[in-house]
Amino acid sequence: MECSFALTGKDYVLVAADTTSARSIIKMKIDEDKIKTLSPHLLMAYSGEPGDTVQFAEYIERNIRLYHIRNLYPLRPQSAAAWIRRSLAESLRSRHPYSVNLLVGGFDTADQSPHLYWIDYLGTMATVPYAAHGYGSYFASSLLDRYHNPDGTLEEGLATLRRAIDETSKRLIVAPGKYMVKVVDKDGIREIEL
């Protein structure tokens, strides 16, 4: 089942999401990228109702791109997260609400700081040092609480993330097999092999 994790470090945010696309009990795809690049320093991992997820993520992606084109600079992570949360909250009160859970991680180039936001389909938003969605969160939260270091290096952050993923793989019956990991820092966004 779908799992996503994220954590902040000294000057970066790590975002990880599984790469399986399933329908009922069937795995349809094992290399699905569920982490969207919203702007040069902003990542969003999405999970939830199939169909809703991609539709909503693309809507967000394009609107944030539009803001970037119109204003020459992109939205800062805190503003982007606030707008994304608002979009979800407005959708919740419509006839067909999107059922999507998000982790938004970004690096604010204005003050050189990493930011991470946990957002669920009800439009709840929390600013957090580490976060998880899906069944993996039941295993990872305690580990992240114990091992997360807000001033840690990238290696340290990756070790903590590996711990969370390994524990989920070990204990969860329906654990996903593969994860995609992306990092955002002052240099932008890149994918990392775990």
Partner 1 sequence: MEAISHAGTVLGVLAKDGVVLAAEKKVTGKLLDLSEAKQGGYGGSGEKIFLLNSNVIGGVAGLTADGNSLINYARSAAQQHLLNYNEDIPVELLAQRLCDLKQGYTQYGGLRPFGVSLLYAGYDPHYQFQLYHSDPSGNYSGWKATCIGANNGTAQSLLKQEYKDDITVEDAIGLVVRTMSKTMDSTTLGSEKLEFAVLTLDPETKEPKAKIYRPVEVDALLVKHGLAKKDEDTEMKTA
**Which residues make up the interface to partner 1 (CB under 8 A)?**
71, 73, 75-76, 78-80, 82-83, 86, 110-111
Min. distance of Cβ 10 from partner 1 in angstroms? Answer: 21
Chain center to CA of 77: 13
Min. distance of Cβ 57 from partner 1 in angstroms? Answer: 19
Residue with Cβ nearer partner 1 (67 or 147): 67
Min. distance of Cβ 83 from partner 1 in angstroms? Answer: 5
Integer-rounded Cα Rg, in Å, for the chain is 16
In order of 21, 54, 55, 67, 190, the CA distances from 49 in angstroms are 11, 9, 10, 27, 27
| Region for 134 from its dihedrals, namely left if φ exceeds 0, alpha if ψ lies in -120 to 50, beta otherwise | left
Residues 6+ apart with CB under 8 A from 40: 74, 188, 189
Min. distance of Cβ 157 from partner 1 in angstroms? Answer: 26
Residue with Cβ nearer partner 1 (79 or 141): 79
Residue with Cβ nearer partner 1 (111 or 155): 111
Residue with Cβ nearer partner 1 (31 or 111): 111
CA atoms in the 13 A half-sphere facing the CB of 179: 26
Min. distance of Cβ 32 from partner 1 in angstroms? Answer: 30
Residues 6+ apart with CB under 8 A from 193: 181
Residue with Cβ nearer partner 1 (93 or 170): 93
